[in-house]
Amino acid sequence: MDQSLKARAFIICLVLVAGLSALSIRLINVQVWDRKMSSDSKFSRFKLVETRPARRGYIVDRHGQVLAQNRPEAALIADVNHLETFKILTRAVAHRYASQVAGWKNATSSERADLLAKTRKQIVARLSKEEVLEQHLEYATEVIGRELRMPSTELRKRVKSGKKRVVVKKSIREDLARRIEVELKERSIQGFSFDRKNRRTYPMPTMAVHTIGYANHEGIGQTGIERAMNEILAGKDGQSERKRDANGLVIPMAAEKIRPAMHGKNVKLTLDMGIQAIVEDELGMACDAYNAKQGSIVVVDPHTGDILAIASRPHFNLNVRENVGTASNNFAVSAVYESGSVMKIVPMSAALDQGVATRESVVDCGWGKLKRYGFTINDPYPYGELTFDGVLVKSSNIGTFQFADRVGRAKFYEYLDAYGFGQKTGFSLPGEQRGVIRGRTNMRNFASAGYGYSVSVTPLQLAMAYSTLANGGVLLKPRLVDSIIANNGTVLQKEPVTKIRRVISERTAADMLLALEQVVKKGTGRRAQIAGYRFGGKTGTAEKWDNEIKDYSELRKYCTFAGIGPIGDPRFVCIVTIDEPSDLGDAPIGGGTIAAPVFSQVAARVAAFMNLPATEPVDNEGSVALNPQ
């Protein structure tokens, strides 16, 4: 073979190798490097994938009053990649010029299409890419700014921030977002879209805030029922997928793939917002009037364990949440404190239940001091001989200890456990505390536990303990969630009334109610009286431990009143706790002077709200002598 033929063959082979190599590189580029841009990829430029947000389930009270709901809203997003694509932007710029031509408004659709086509050809011929991009952005921001009532210059500044995906405006109402979408579509403006979601809102944002709780901007429950029932409330987002053409425009007639959203289920609570409003009102006024540090009120149906109302202070606004960091503590279920004489129901009912005492039993409380087991128990006054009822009426520590001593230390702690102290109640919310029972083998702790020291409790535990007396002796689990309801109204799950254990006999419970009625009639709880009704209850005043002086403080106190009524047919139990009240003038600070009057106001309004018939005649001319203890 001559040299020229060899040379020609070599050149042909070289061309073939170069061509095949270029083709191979292109195939690799398409199949590997551009895979994300293929039509089968979820990242494809030939697809528009949009989230269809799930609707979070509603939270409602026992009557269906909405407590937590959703408001659809959208965020306006600018896709800078589309805002830099010359071909697709010329349509909007053409519309900008054509719409200013005389007769545009009255032109037919075909006439408009012809005018737009001519104008677009002129724009492509006369304007540079940079000019088209700038004019398109000016036009878009003018239209959007007019709807959002924002300066177009501010919008352009945000779009030109240097990011490829810019959140132009958040929290746009759904009706406004739809209007903007129509405006952009009519003008062929590209590069803008909406991210949609449902924003959680609370119609009564300052009521039952610790119980309802709130969800964050991502729709995840952070506190209260919103957190405890998040999986049930949340649902699951859906998705829609539409095809785009090579320029990134949605193909109108192409099939759309849709995965529908699975909406969250609704949660019905046992709360009665009528009673809740009363409780919020009275607790707020009391904490303000007494300049209290904290406080709570709990109202329970003693026969079912239903929480009818529960409120704590300080609190916050569920929609605004400005002071959530300092007001998020749910005092009613998280506060652990020595509650004082409201705990005297434990040894006194144990004495009746064990048969070591009757309501006619008498103990000698002497001159206000009793030395026993190497320590001294004190009363504020020398009460002398007191009956069983008299011990509760006077709230005698000495008398209470003598009845507790008859029961015995081991048996007393069995009753303390049976009432649910030192244990969580099984409440539906996170953050509940179990309380503390100190030193069961220590006789001094045994003595003080009978009148509310050496035992730390929560207001909710007290509510369930007093409900035990009101329902005939059975401890119930508190019921906050009534049911789980589907979006079509079907009840998917009903929470049952849960009886934990029998604590005392029905006879003992009935006798305790009669004894507690005497406390309200003529004892430390006189300020808890409600005209026309028989109520019973017990005051509690507990000094707070001061670590600086290593002793109990006479200035810092917890004031509590635990009330039951009406006696004979109890319909509700109410626990009022005020932490560190002050500004009472010359009157002593105590459960009888602080918490009892608050209970009276709450109970009177709740009785009226429930339409409870009066059981006693009302003497409009008479007056009641008040005992400040």
3-state SS record for 140-186: HHHHHHHHHCCCHHHHHHHHCCCCCEEEEEEEEEHHHHHHHHHHHHH
Report whether 300 contacts 464 (CB < 8 A).
Answer: yes
Token couple for 409: 């230390």
Residue 89 CB neighbour total at 10 angstroms: 27
> Would you state the pLDDT for residue 38?
46
> Would you state the pLDDT for residue 549?
85
Which of 207-216 are b and which e, b meaning 16 or more Cβ less than 10 Å from the residue's Cβ?
A: bbbbbbbbbe
Among 72, 319, 322, residue whose Cα is nearest residue 199: 72
Among 191, 190, 168, 179, residue whose Cα is nearest residue 95: 190
CA distance 45 to 82: 10
pTM: 0.83
Task: Tell me the pLDDT tens digit for each residue of 149-172.
Answer: 999 899 989 988 878 888 989 888
Length of the chain: 629
Q: For the purposes of burial, counting CB atoms within 10 Å of the CB of 550, is it exposed (0-12), middle (13-18) or buried (19 or more)? A: exposed
Region for 225 from its dihedrals, namely left if φ exceeds 0, alpha if ψ lies in -120 to 50, beta otherwise? alpha
Determine the residue type at 254. A
> Would you state the pLDDT for residue 244?
57
DSSP states along 430-485: TT----EE--TT-HHHHHHHTTTSSEEE-HHHHHHHHHHHHTTSEEE--B-EEEEE
CA distance 475 to 499: 6
The DSSP secondary-structure symbol of 192 reads: E
CA distance 184 to 164: 20
Report whether 369 contacts 377 (CB < 8 A).
Answer: yes
Residues in the chain with pLDDT < 70?
Answer: 1-10, 15-50, 52, 240-256, 583, 619-629
Place of tokens 């177009």: 152
Token couple for 308: 């009818």
Q: What is the SS3 assignment for 414?
A: helix
Q: Is beta strand 238-243 parallel, antiparallel or unpaired with respect to 47-52?
A: antiparallel
Angle value at C-alpha 288, between 285 and 289, nearest 5 degrees:
80
The DSSP secondary-structure symbol of 496 reads: P
Report whether 269 contacts 62 (CB < 8 A).
Answer: yes
Place of tokens 């879209």: 193
Percent of residues in the chain assigned helix, strand, coil, to nearest 5: 40, 25, 35
Determine the residue type at 145. G
DSSP states along 569-597: S--EEEEEEEES----TTSPPSIIIIIHH
Among 280, 284, 282, residue whose Cα is nearest residue 292: 284
Q: Which domains does the chain have, with CATH numbers?
A: 47-269 (3.90.1310.10), 281-609 (3.40.710.10)
CA distance 540 to 471: 22
CB neighbours of 142 closer than 8 A, spacing ≥ 6?
152
Taking the CA atoms of residue 532, residue 394, residue 524 and residue 473 in that order, the dihedral angle to the nearest 10 degrees is -60
> Would you state the pLDDT for residue 20?
66
Angle value at C-alpha 209, between 207 and 212, nearest 5 degrees:
105
Which residue pairs from 147-151 have beta carbons closer than 8 angstroms and sit at least 24 positions apart in sequence?
Answer: 147/176, 147/179, 147/180, 147/183, 148/76, 148/172, 148/176, 148/180
Sheet holding 257-259, edge to edge: 47-52, 238-243, 257-259
